[in-house]
Chain A
Amino acid sequence: MSPGRPLRVLLAKLGLDSHTIGVTVIARALRDAGMEVIYSGLKQTPEMVVATAIQEGADVIGVSSLSAAHMHHIPRVVELLREEDAADTLVIAGGVIPEEDVRELQRRGVARVFTMGTETGAIVAYLKDWWESR
């Protein structure tokens, strides 16, 4: 971990989807890579996610979405971060997200989208690289 402290990552599930296995696996992988993972649970709104990230001093927000609502919710998180003067928070997303949506999400400020089947190691490596380049 580069700047001499653990990276703080907020993991949240947006919208009504209630699949928790993916996010649990990722939470463990990030913890085992030395990160502090704040898990805020299911059925979060973009407003809850951003308020939580600010209170928690999160460097990264990881949004997991396995429902079709991602195109609505995830860009809203980015937007709210800008409004709250916290645009330096990295936003990444993961879940069942079609290719054309991935490009659109990235255009709207999501740094990286990990689609289904991504190895947790790839997420860890991506975050470590980002953290070291800070």
Chain B
Amino acid sequence: MGESLTLRVRNGHVASGARLLGWLEDGDPRGAEALRALHPATGRSQVVGVTGPPGAGKSTLVDTLVAGWRARGLRVGVIAVDPTSPFSGGALLGDRVRMQRHATDRDVFIRSMATRGQLGGLARHTGEACAVLDAMGYERIAVETVGVGQDEIDVAALAHTTLVVCPPGAGDGIQAQKAGLLEVGDALVLNKADHPGADAAERDLRELLHLRGASPEGWQPRLFRTVASRGEGVAALLDAIEAHGRHLRETGGFARVNGRRARRALRERVLWRVEERLLERAQADPALGSLLERVADGSLDPYTAADHLLEAWIPTPHPDPE
């Protein structure tokens, strides 16, 4: 089963890829098993992160990027992340409303993901989902984040190319200076550029880009004005995304991003599994109940309690006695 599923995923079989994505999101061990087998087939796609505040027009922009890539003969995957409600655990995933013209295109795969409590603008398994789409042979993968504030910039660690989408009126000059978000864009996109305030926003963003300068490898981020709903300005943006992909491949940046992603995947895997094991241990530990009670009734402070638990579960290594 597992082996034939990974083979079908590598052959681009949509239902198999979709099932694997479900396993990964749900923490099904078959998901990790399949990723192991697929790993050698990954590392080829250019992952393009699309981030920005709510209402910036990210989904519409992704829709037009998909159309542009398709016109250039490329196969495209999309991962669109929306927030999970912290109250119900449910989510309303509506990004693909703007992308449905691609629904029956066999060379486009769109998947919506809920954050399920993950902070940082992505879902916990977004990186793994990219690996699956990569193994399926999608040459460009757009990752649309939730509507983000100033520092939810996880996507920049995941993507080869990060687009920061800003609507006009998102803030005055000072806002533009301090926003951590704006510092991670390989291109800034001033979308809804036909709206009032676009020229002022353009001035602010240009100033910011000027202050930022080029990356150590010599990439100078540029500003693009788009009206995604009419496809305006998107061709130039697409050219820049493609140019950035080539730049990364020429300067070794592409492999570096893949390496960063792999290191991150390793770190995340280890931390998740440690967390899992600790929770299992905690449930089986009779001392925990009384400790929790003492913390709750105030007879023990949480800091001392944390030290007790960690010392019991993962003792600090002591140097060998001579």
A interface list, Cβ under 8 A from B: 1, 4-6, 8, 27-28, 30-41, 44-45, 47-48, 51-52, 54-57, 84-86
Contacts and interface: CB of A to CB of B under 8 A. Distances in A.
B44 interface: no
B54 interface: no
A86 B22 CA distance: 15
B93 A36 contact: yes
Nearest to A42: B97
A31 to B, nearest CB: 4
A109 B114 CA distance: 30
A55 B109 contact: yes
Contacts of A38: 93-94, 96, 112
B85 interface: yes
B94 A55 contact: no
A38 B22 CA distance: 14
B90 A52 contact: no
A36 B14 CA distance: 20
B8 to A, nearest CB: 12
Given A31-B85, A55-B109, A36 B91 contact: yes
B103 interface: yes
A56 B92 contact: no
Given A6-B91, A34-B88, 9 more contacts: A31-B91, A36-B91, A39-B92, A40-B96, A44-B100, A47-B103, A52-B100, A57-B21, A57-B111
Interface of B: 14-15, 18-19, 21-22, 25-26, 84-85, 87-94, 96-97, 100, 103-104, 109-112, 114, 116
A34 B26 CA distance: 15
A45 B103 CA distance: 10
Contact of A33 (B14, B15, B88, B110): B88
Nearest to A5: B26
A54 B111 CA distance: 10
B89 A6 contact: yes
Contacts of A32: 85, 87-88, 90
A56 B111 contact: yes
Contact of A40 (B26, B90, B103, B114): B103
20 contacts: A1-B89, A6-B89, A31-B88, A34-B90, A36-B91, A36-B93, A37-B90, A37-B91, A37-B93, A38-B94, A38-B112, A39-B92, A39-B93, A39-B94, A41-B96, A41-B97, A48-B103, A52-B96, A52-B103, A52-B110
A78 B251 CA distance: 51
Contacts of B90: 6, 30-37
Contacts of A57: 18-19, 21-22, 111
A56 B109 CA distance: 9
3 nearest A-B pairs in the assembled complex, by CB-CB distance: A31-B90, A41-B97, A48-B103
